[in-house]
Amino acid sequence: MRHSDRRRISRRDFFKAAGLTVATLAALGGGAYALQRWDDSQNAVSVADTGPGNDHREAAQLKELTYKGKTYRQRPELETYLFMGIDTMGAAVGVNSYAGGGQADVQIVAVLDNEARTWQALQLNRDSIVRVPVLGVGGDIVAYEDEQLALAHYYGNGREQSCENTVLAVSMLLGDQPIDGYMAVNMDAVGILTDLVGGVTLTVTSDFSATDPSLMQGETITLTGEQALTYVRSRANIDDETNLARMNRQRQYMTALEEKLMQKDANFVVEAYDALADYMVTDIASGTAAEIGERMQDYTQLEVLTIDGENVVEGEHWAYHLDEDSLQETILQLFYNEI
């Protein structure tokens, strides 16, 4: 097994949130979450009362399920957040339509265990074939289709509607697991943040010769913003065109970016916030974000999970068919205890 208040923010608060961002949003989120000061007046939802020791679901609401002869009960001490990287360039202004909101190429579920004081990320494959809600002209669900998970964000206005539709699709995929908040960032954030930190150094793991000859496989280079976007976004004309290979590069970029972010001070935070604020959509309130980041730095980070599956080409598109056992075991590992 493998989702404005422009006051200056402290270096301490920045590093708290940076720990959350880099580990969960990976390539396309980068430091956006660390640098954002959300406007509580923009319908932000505070989930601060779901902190350590505060079970936000009653025992009667907890699901039980049986798998391979064993019974499991849903764990109440968890918080779950969805982070999305949207394959759209420009500011997050949305669209005046019920479709065309851009696809969510990166989807990472972060799960905080407030009892064990651990947290874990689940990186979802955007090509996963799942049950996706289809929105109609009025913004209501008119159908469900089995299609790529990334398309859930395509339906809706490219802002809150699209994010909420993706939250629903991910929740259904994970056995109707509640998701406590989301954050989405558009593609430009990768290049902007990479240039702001002075480049991100890593060893190129794929053959980009047909796409960008400056990215020489096996060489260690410091990526510019443009190169970083190519590295985490491209898969056509690469030696391995699967999204699995791209997900590996995104995790690699994540680790390298974290090293650069941790060298920065409060002045960098202000500069980066101003550069990135227009590219994000979230329902997480600012105070809650800082509190989440603080706990994630205090908690032990567990290994990043993915769900096993099979890559096939269907028509002109990749389809990743999830292994049902791997999916179920991932759900149990993240959200349930055996009873």
Flag whether 65 is in a domain.
yes
Distance CA 199, CA 307 (A): 31
Q: Is the dihedral of CA 218, 20, 173, 126 positive or negative?
A: negative
Query: Is the whole model's pTM more than 0.85, yes or no?
Result: no
Flag whether 82 is in a domain.
yes
Least confident of 32-46, 147-161, 260-274: 32-46
> CATH code at 98?
3.30.420.590
Domain that holds residue 111: 11-188+265-338
29-50 average pLDDT score: 39
* pLDDT score recorded for residue 49: 43
* pLDDT score recorded for residue 52: 47
* pLDDT score recorded for residue 55: 47
Mean pLDDT, the chain, rounded, equals: 81
Flag whether 201 is in a domain.
no
Flag whether 214 is in a domain.
no
Render pLDDT for 6-37 as a digit per residue (tens, 0 to 9): 333 344 444 434 433 433 343 333 333 444 43
Flag whether 243 is in a domain.
no
Question: Percent of the chain, pLDDT > 70?
Answer: 79
Total domains, the chain: 1
* pLDDT score recorded for residue 213: 93
SS (H, E, C) the chain: CCCCCCCCCCHHHHHHHHHHHHHHHHHHHCCHHHHCCCCCCCCCECCHHHCCCCCCCCHHHCCEEEECCEEEEECCCEEEEEEEEECCCCCCCCCCCCECCCCEEEEEEEEEECCCCEEEEEEECCCEEEEEEEECCCCCEEEEEEEEHHHHHCECCCCHHHHHHHHHHHHHHCCCCCCCEEEEEECHHHHHHHHHCCCEEEECCCCCCCCCCCCCCCCEEEECHHHHHHHHHCCCCCCCCCHHHHHHHHHHHHHHHHHHHCCCCHHHHHHHHHHHHHHEEECECHHHHHHHHHHHHHCEECCCECCCEEEEEECCEEEEEECHHHHHHHHHHHHEEEC
Flag whether 170 is in a domain.
yes
Render pLDDT for 201-228 as a digit per residue (tens, 0 to 9): 999 999 998 999 999 999 999 999 999 9
Q: Is the pLDDT of residue 5 over 60?
A: no
224-245 average pLDDT score: 88
Least confident of 103-112, 249-258, 304-313: 249-258
Flag whether 198 is in a domain.
no
Distance CA 46, CA 180 (A): 9
Backbone angles phi, psi at 264, to 5 degrees: -95, 160
Render pLDDT for 127-161 as a digit per residue (tens, 0 to 9): 999 999 999 988 899 999 999 999 999 999 999 99
Render pLDDT for 183-194 as a digit per residue (tens, 0 to 9): 888 888 888 889
Flag whether 156 is in a domain.
yes
270: left (phi over 0), alpha (psi -120 to 50) or beta: alpha
Q: Which residue has the higher pLDDT, 82 or 49?
A: 82
Dmax (CA) for the chain in angstroms is 58
Q: pLDDT-derived band of residue 275, with 50, 70 and 90 as boundaries?
A: confident
* pLDDT score recorded for residue 268: 72
Render pLDDT for 161-176 as a digit per residue (tens, 0 to 9): 999 999 999 999 999 9
Question: Percent of the chain, pLDDT > 90?
Answer: 47
Q: Structure tokens of 264?
A: 């920065």
